[in-house]
Structure 1
Amino acid sequence: MNALTAQHTAAPPLRPLLVLTSAVVLAHVLLLQAAPAHWGMEAERALKLRPLITRSIEIKPPSPTAALPAPPPPVQRAAPAVAPRLQQNTASALAKKEPAAIESIASPVPEPTATTTPPTPAPEPRPPVAEAAPATPVAAAGALTIPGSMRLKYSMTGRSRNMDYHASAQLDWLQDGEAYQAGMVVSAFGLGERSMASRGQITGDGLAPTRFLDKSRSERAAHFQPDKGKITFSANSPDVPWQPGAQDRVSVFVQLASLLAGDPAKYPVGSSVSLFTAGPTGADTWTFVVEAEEKLSLPAGEFSAVKLTRKPQRDYDQAVEVWLAPSLAWLPARIRITQHNGDFVDQQLRVAEKPL
């Protein structure tokens, strides 16, 4: 009983709650009735103050696509200039491979001064061979006939350091029965010029040189002094004893011609001719062996010639081959010189004419 009585006594009274609830509801009703009029006026005023703005958008049909301009042509960029360097390298390579010398009758010419390989000259028409000037018989222990004055021009081909080259040569032979002059000039495009000259007397033993000159970049000379019994050299080389019949590197070929012209039967195949021969720095005995007669087809025409060969006697000697033609008063129609390393020069008659 006491518990139930206590629980009933603690419950709040219902009447005051109902009164409070009714008051709250009534206040909300009054507020809602007054709000529409006020809010409607404010809304209407806002609509009247804010004009309605409209915008029309015209949608145009798509225009036809314009033709795109052609793309510009690609720019051609110039390659870096390399020609000068290539030319320089080519020139250096060619300079290394150019022939070290043109071998003339028996010795080399100066080093080349240009880097271009000379073009092969066009073949020239064969000119008629001029009639040789009258020969000069010489009374001697052995018969000799000195060839008359003549000019011989040669076409030359050669090889040096595995490079082929072309050149030209001219032999001028002049004599008046008492004295003589002989000169050989060798020239090549881009390789310079070399000359060798001999002068002396005509004696009972044939040619007797007094001076031999070898000229390229410098001059070197050999002086024959039979009265003093020696041959001296301007190149400060040691003197050598003079020997009867001594020749130089130009006169030796004319002396051979004089010997065979004087008595061809004296020099059959297999016989030999020995001549003490001086160059610009020394002297040595050149021994030529007579070989068979050959038919030559040269730029100047067809020739019959007797071949003579000088065999090398030492490791560094030159091999010399010379063809003496009776129709040229036994002067050389062809000369070929081969070095110990295989380099060679081959000069073949192109023109034979009377000297100017």
Structure 2
Amino acid sequence: MPRRALVFITALVLALHWLVLSGVPLAWDSPAQPSRQVFSTRSIAPSPPPPTVAPPGVTAVPVAAPQPAPRKKAPSPKRPPAPAAQDRPEPAPTAAPVAETEAPADTGAATTVASATPEAPANDAAPAPAPAASAPAAPAEPATEDTQTGTGVDIRPPGGTGRSAGAPPPPVRMPAPTRLAFDVNGQAKKFAYSARAELLWQQIGNRYEARQEISAFLVGTRTQRSVGTVTEQGLLPEKFSDKSRSEQAAHFDYAKGRVTFSANTPDAAAGPGVQDRLSLFIQLGAMLAADPGQFVPGTQITLTTVSARSADRWTFTVEGPETLDLPAGPTPALKLLRLPRKDYDQKAELWVAPGLGYLPVRIKLTQANGDFADLLLRASSPP
């Protein structure tokens, strides 16, 4: 094969792999909010008629506009004598004034433009415009825990309405140190791809480290790392980093109750039970391991999750037990589901295995545009 053709093919393969790896929808990614398209309209007044130009030699004489003839005042009828107070009729009720309402806030949808009506003749009095019947705005959704940050861990039983605001996180049972190897199948920017991933969980005393790497041929790796301490209520992250071509990180300052970001994005609140996008999977499994009977199908678990750029509330619903056919073999697991709350949110499906200390054995993440990554356990071993 000619050397020039070989170099071209190699460059093409590298470009495709870079495109795939940069578009893999991993759990810790923070998809950017789509920019809103706003359609605005304006009214343009008709241009004034051109001035009349007099022919040469003729002096233009301004003509005064004809004044309407004065209207004759109709003779006022003679007023009858005022009736006595007891004979006076009740005055007719007047219509209550209609308060003008502000236009509903822009929701990002296209604006419907009404067709213009023809102007009334100049010599006729213009009728008073009827109030426009605006479409009723959709009622605002009530604020939920998902829209708040730093408000602790909320565990709701099926059909429950109460919430454990301010309550400490539930007890946990941490898994043994383990190395998990995954096969990755997915789609990014309409390209199907295969990759390898590894999740390493280590605990030494009250210190922990979780690290996950995903690698693609000829491209390299993308690494996420979470370090911190282990308490009776589980993981207390101190730093979460995401490194591909460059590194971004989130730093947890519990003394000030804040999370700061190296990307110079706004700080977030660091409340009880806050997790990052990697420690989250370990924490959920540790909560389930401590008290499996509390998390029956339909139970919802809400907690604050922090990426390398921002924080949000994530709610997982316990779906129920399943037996997965994985590359590692048939594996009994418990499924948890996080449905997207906004148009650009990820759908996250998580399967944890009781036989592995409720560590994740399958993670499937789906983007709003259809791209997905499906991590399937291939093998597990001590670190």
For the aligned pair, the TM-score class normalised by the smaller chain equals 0.5 to 0.7
Partner of 1:74 in structure 2? Answer: none
- Structure 2 CA distance for partners of 1:303 and 1:230, relative to 1, 3 Å: same
**Structure 1, unaligned runs of 5 or more:** 1-80, 110-139
Q: Secondary structure at the match of 1:256?
A: helix
Deviation at 1:104, TM superposition (A): 2.9
> 2:25 aligned to 96, 100, 103, which one?
103
- Aligned pairs for 1:302-317 (under 5 A) are 302-317=330-345
Partner of 1:300: 328
What is the alpha-carbon distance in structure 2 between the residues aligned to residue 328 and residue 207 of structure 1? Answer: 18
Out of 87-96 and 341-350, give the one that drifted further.
87-96
Distance 2:176 2:314 in 1: 24
Contact in 1 for aligned 2:222/2:243 (Cα 8 Å): yes
1:281 partner SS: coil
Q: Verify the 8 A CA contact 2:169 2:272 in the aligned structure 1.
A: no
Cα distance change on mapping 1:241 and 1:87 into 2, 3 Å:
same
Do 2:171 and 2:234's aligned partners in 1 also have CA atoms closer than 8 Å?
no
CA shift digits 1:67-109 (9 cap, x unpaired)? xxxxxxxxxxxxxx99957974996599479424223333289
| Closer/same/farther in 2, CA of residues 90 and 148 from structure 1, 3 Å limit | closer
Structure 2 counterpart of 1:133: none
Question: CA contact under 8 A between 2:314 and 2:338: conserved in structure 1?
Answer: yes
* CA shift in 2, pair 1:90/1:234, >3 Å: closer
Q: Match for residue 246 of structure 2? A: 218
C-alpha distance in 2 between matches for 1:154 and 1:214: 19
Q: 1:228 to 1:161 in 2, by over 3 A?
A: same
Which of 208, 219, 235 aligns to 1:180? It is: 208
Helix, strand or coil at the partner of 2:173: strand
The runs of 5 or more residues in structure 2 that have no matched partner are 32-167
Instruction: Write the distance in 2 (CA, Å) between the matches of 1:173 and 1:93.
Output: 33
Post-superposition offset of 1:292: 1.6
Q: 1:145 to 1:93 in 2, by over 3 A?
A: closer
2:329 equivalent to 1:329: no
Aligned counterpart, 1:49: none
Match of 1:265 in 2: 293
The residue number in structure 1 matching 2:84 is: none
1-structure distance, mates of 2:349, 2:24: 17
Q: Does 1:287 align with 2:209?
A: no
- 1:294, 1:304 within 8 Å by CA — same for their partners in 2? yes
User: For residue 280 of structure 1, what is the amino acid of its counterpart?
Assistant: A
The structure carrying a bigger helix percent of its residues is 1
- Deviation digits for residues 272-306 of structure 1, max 9, x if unmatched? 11110100000101110100211101111110101
Compared with structure 1, are the counterparts of its residues 153 and 82 closer, same or farther at alpha carbon in structure 2 (3 Å cutoff)? closer
Query: Against the structure 1 CA distance between its residues 94 and 222, is the aligned structure 2 distance closer, same or farther, given a 3 Å change threshold?
Result: closer
What amino acid is aligned across from residue 273 of structure 1 in structure 2?
A: I
Number of matched pairs: 245
Query: Aligned pair in 2 of structure 1 residues 217, 260: CA closer, same or farther (>3 Å)?
Result: same
Contact 2:14–2:218 (Cα < 8 Å) also in 1: no
Q: Which has the higher contact order (CA 8 A, sep 6+)?
A: 2
Cα distance between partner residues in 1 of 2:289 and 2:326: 22
Structure-2 residue corresponding to 1:162: 190
Residue 106 of structure 1 contacts residue 337 of structure 1 at CA under 8 Å; is this kept in 2?
A: no
SS in 2 for 1:289: strand
Which of these residues, 251, 258, 272, is aligned with residue 244 of structure 1? 272
User: Quick one: distance in 2 between partners of 1:108 and 1:311?
Assistant: 15
Decide whether aligned partners of structure 1 residues 227 and 326 sit closer, same or farther in structure 2, where only a CA change above 3 A counts: same
The answer to whether residue 146 in structure 2 is matched with residue 147 in structure 1 is no
Q: Tell me if the contact between 1:101 and 1:108 (Cα under 8 Å) persists in the aligned partners.
A: no
Code of the residue aligned with 2:346 in structure 1: it is Q
Contact 2:171 2:232 in 1 (8 A): no
The aligned amino acid for 1:103 is P
Among residues 349, 352, 375, which one is paired with 1:347 in the alignment? Answer: 375
Q: TM-score, normalised by structure 1?
A: 0.64
Q: What amino acid does structure 2 have at the position aligned with 1:154?
A: F
- 1:174 alignment partner, SS class: strand
